[in-house]
Structure formats: structure tokens, C-alpha cells
Amino acid sequence: MLVRSYLTFPAGTLVKVKLELQKGSSPLQFEARVVRTIETDCMGLQFNQLDAKQGSRLQEFLLPLILTAI
């Protein structure tokens, strides 16, 4: 996942991620590893041990966004 942030970390850094996908629902929380940094405000993250339920929630959130971008 590409993340834009005012603070970036070097490749290899383990970070904790908390995503609020929908107001009022419980946020997704998981660990990810920074796999690359792009310029001064973007990082590529690789998810670590995202369970099936979390993966499904993330997919349901992202799929419509991806389809509208095509």
C-alpha cells in the first residue's frame, strides 16, 4: 500500500498502522514493514500478518476506490 505522510521512515522499518475505514466502525490495526520511500512524503508498506477478517474489510473498502480509478 502506498501511504502519503508528513513523516516517513526508512525501508525495513516496522510500523504500526491504524486505519479508520468508516466513521463509527472499529479501526483496522496491524503491523507493516516499510519497503520503500518515495520522495519525502510517501512510503510503500507491506502488511504483516493481516488476518482474513482484516483483509476482507480492507478489500471491501479499497475495491470500489480502485475500480473508479480505472
Confidence grade of residue 56 (pLDDT, cut at 50, 70, 90) = very high
Residue 67 has pLDDT above 90, yes or no: no
pLDDT digits (tens, 9 = 90+) for 2-49: 899 999 999 999 999 999 988 888 999 999 999 999 988 999 999 988
Which residue from 21, 69, 10 is spatially nearest to 45, judged by alpha carbons? Answer: 10
14 CB-contact burial (10 Å; exposed 0-12 / middle 13-18 / buried 19+): exposed
Three cell numbers, residue 38: 518515495
- To which H or E segment does residue 5 belong? none
* Domain ranges, ordered by start, for the chain: 2-69
Which residue stretches of 1-70 are H helix?
Answer: 52-69
The pLDDT assigned to 11 comes to: 95
Tell me how many degrees the CA angle 43-10-4 measures, rounded to the nearest 5. Answer: 20
- pTM score of the predicted model: 0.78
